[in-house]
Structures are given as structure tokens and as C-alpha cells.
Amino acid sequence: MLGSFIGKYKDCLTDERGAVVVSFTVEGSERYAARQCAAAAQTALASGKERLKIEVNIDKPKRSLNANNYFWQLCDKIAQKVGSSKLDVYRGYVLEQGVFEAMEINAAAVKLFSEVWGARGDGWLVEIMDGAERDGYVLLHAYKGSSTYDKEQMARLIDSVVTDAKELEIETRTPEEIELMKQRWEGSRL
């Protein structure tokens, strides 16, 4: 295959020789792919390959049933609606769900620990809390990213983001699709 792109049907005309000329309009980021296809067709034509097989299909965006992917999609839509970043919205939900390990560490190690913990992913956050029992130590809540959540934790996370999306009049998947995602969730084993 020389390539593909997404566009909209424009028209179908008959030229002076009786041949049919079909046109499509291509906009946005798909223009590059369309130009690449046109260049590939021109190259094929220059090498003597005049006939091309052309297919037209209905564009159906891929819909993953992965709960974490869906969660991120809704975070992005919520962020757009409220004028925030997807990452800030995501991190807000991670903090809200409260999946963390409480630990006391030496105050001198907090910065390094936070960097190492946070390098695991966008949802791996560290909050410094009050209440360390030993002098020179700090109480931390080390939050885990949503990819590590078990079924129950992920179900709560999805329910929370879906509720917020609906309140903001953002279209969500059907209750059946959402339930299926929650049931299929296994999470990573970190």
C-alpha cells in the first residue's frame, strides 16, 4: 500500500473523455499523509505503473477498551473544557483516589526519593505530610500511577472521571462499555 489518509468526499465529475474524476477534501494534520500518497502515486506513474487500486472506507476511529486509555481520553476532554492541562487533571484524580504508600524517610533524601519515584510515570507523585514521628525525618505519601491500580481502584477512578465528564456535558461511553472496561482491567504488576 502506498499510503492512506482521512478526508471528506467532495464531488464526482465526468471529464471530456468520459472518465470519472472523484475528488476529496483533506484538512488539518491529514494533509501531510495525503501529500505523501500523491507523491507516491506520482512516483509509481513515473515508473510506468499507471493503475492504482483505490479503496474508500468509512473512517471509524479506533476505540480501545483499555480503561486507563479511556481515563486519559476523558482527562484530556475535561482539561480542554476547564482550561487546564491533561496532566494536571490526571494528577488531580490520582491524588483524589488516594492510592499511596505512607513512609517516613530521612529529610535529606526527600528530593532524591521524589525524583526517583516520579521518574516511574506521570502519576507517581510525592506529597510531604505533617506528622513524622522521628526528628530529621519526613512523612511522605508516595502515590502510584493509575496503570498499577487493581480492578476496584480503577473502577473508582473511572466512575469519578465519568461523573465529572457528564457534569461538564462531555460525551462518555455507554454504561455497558464502561462496565466492560472496568471488568477487563488488570493493571500492571509494579
Q: What mean pLDDT, rounded, does the chain reach?
A: 89
Residue 62 has what pLDDT?
Answer: 45
Residue 63 has what pLDDT?
Answer: 40
3-class SS letters over the chain:
CCCCCCCEEEEEEECCCCCEEEEEECCCCHHHHHHHHHHHHHHHHHCCCCCCCCCCCCCCCCCCCCHHHHHHHHHHHHHHHHCCCHHHHHHHHHHHHCCEEEEEEEHHHHHHHHHHHHCCCCCCCEEEECCCCCCCEEEEEEECCHHHCCHHHHHHHHHHHHHHHHHCCCCCCCHHHHHHHHHHCCCCCC
Q: What would the pLDDT profile of 133-182 be if each residue is shown by its tens digit?
A: 999 999 999 999 998 888 899 999 999 999 999 999 999 999 998 988 88
Confidence grade of residue 9 (pLDDT, cut at 50, 70, 90): very high
Residue 109 has what pLDDT?
Answer: 93
